[in-house]
Amino acid sequence: MTTTSPQGHTELLRPDGSPVRVLVVDDEQSITELLSMALRYEGWQIRSAGDGLGAVRTARDFRPDAVVLDMMLPDMDGLSVLGRLRRDLPDVPVLFLTAKDAVEDRIAGLTAGGDDYVTKPFSLEEVVARLRGLIRRSGAADRRSDSVLVVGDLTLDEDSHEVTRGGDGIHLTATEFELLRFLMRNPRRVLSKAQILDRVWSYDFGGQANVVELYISYLRRKIDAGREPMIHTRRGAGYLIKPAA
C-alpha cells in the first residue's frame, strides 16, 4: 500500500497501513539529528539511540522495520550490536554506516544477508534510497513497490540504475543519477539549490553552490537534449522536473 506523503511522493507503508519505523543509531548527535529529520520527511517514524545498549533496548519495544547502525559506537562494536539486535528481531534489515577509510575487511559479510551499507560522509538521498531498497526487499512494506520512477516519458530504475527517455537509454554518472532521482521523486515541485545540495551532496561538502547549476546543465544535455524540456528553472527559487506535456 502506498499513499501520498506531505512531500508529494509515494511512500512505503506497512501492511496494516501504519508508517514504517526506523531506528537510527549513531554516537554523533549531529548525525542522528540529520538522519532523523531526513527520514521523518519520508513519512517514517523514527527513534534514535547514541550507543549499542540504547539501540538494543530501544529496538526491543520500538520493533523497527529497519535500522541505521553506525559501525563505530562508544560502548560496543557494530557486530555485537548486530548480533543482539538479531536476537530480538531476526529479520530486520540493517543499513550500516562506516567511515570511508575504515578497514575494508570490517565490511566483509555485512551485505551477505541482504543488509547494506553506506560510507561516511554520505548523502541523504543515498541513505534514503538504500533504506527504501532494504525495506522494500524485506517485505515489511506490503507493496512490492517496484523500483522504477516515472515522470512523463522519463524512467529511472533504482535497481539497474537504468535511465530512459522515450525509450532511449541514457547513461548518467553517479552524481547525475542521484540528482535526477531526487528531482523525479519530487516531480512538479520546485527544489531550491540549497535543498538539492543538502540532499544529493554529502553532508560535508564544502564546495561552491554552483555545482548544482553545473549538474543541472549536465542533466539537461543528456535528458532534454533536442527534446521538449522537462527540467525547468524557476529563477530565484530553484528547479523542478515535470512531464514534457
CB of 211 to DNA, least distance (A): 4
In whole angstroms, the minimum distance from the beta carbon of 155 to its own copies comes to 14
Q: Closest distance between DNA and the C-beta of residue 232, in Å?
A: 8
Residue 197's binding partner out of DNA, its own copies, none, with CB under 5 to 8 Å set by partner kind: its own copies
Alpha-carbon distance of 162 to 235, in angstroms, equals: 30
User: What letter does residue 94 receive in the DSSP assignment?
Assistant: E
Residue 9 interacting entry, from its own copies, DNA, none, C-beta within 5 to 8 Å by type: none
Question: Which residues does residue 233 pair with via DSSP β-bridges, in sequence order?
Answer: 239
Residues that bind DNA (CB under 7 A): 171, 173-176, 193, 201, 205-208, 210-211, 213-214, 216-217, 220, 233-238
Could you give the dihedral angle defined by the CA atoms of residues 151, 9, 159 and 210, in that order, rounded to the nearest 10 degrees?
80
Q: Which does 176 bind (CB under 5 to 8 A by kind): its own copies, DNA, none?
A: DNA
Applying CB under 8 A, which residues contact its own copies?
6-8, 29, 33-34, 36-38, 40-41, 83, 86, 90-91, 104-105, 107-115, 117, 124, 136-139, 159-162, 173-174, 188-190, 192, 194-195, 197-199, 203, 205-206, 209, 234-237, 240, 242
CA distance 185 to 70: 27
Q: Which is nearer to its own copies, 65 or 115 (CB)?
A: 115
- Minimum Å distance from CB 179 to DNA? 9
15, interface contact from DNA, its own copies, none, CB < 5-8 Å by kind: none
Beta-strand ranges (E) seen in the chain are 2-4, 10-12, 21-25, 45-49, 66-70, 94-99, 116-120, 148-151, 154-157, 163-165, 168-170, 231-234, 238-241
Q: Peptide bond before 90: cis, by omega within 30 degrees of 0?
A: no
Q: Which does 110 bind (CB under 5 to 8 A by kind): DNA, its own copies, none?
A: its own copies
Q: Under a CB-based contact definition with an 8 Å cutoff, are residues 156 and 163 in contact?
A: yes
Query: Residue 20 gets which letter from DSSP?
Result: P
The number of residues making up the chain comes to 245
User: Nearer to DNA by C-beta: 45 or 233?
Assistant: 233
Residue 29 binding: pick among its own copies, DNA, none (C-beta 5-8 Å cut-off by kind): its own copies
Least distance in Å: CB of 160 to its own copies? 5
> For residues 38 and 73, which CB has a smaller minimum distance to its own copies in the complex?
38
Question: How far, in Å, CA of 9 to CA of 11, rounded?
Answer: 6
Task: Enter the C-alpha cell of residue 95.
Answer: 543499513
| Grid coordinates belonging to 184 | 523525479
CB of 74 to its own copies, least distance (A): 20
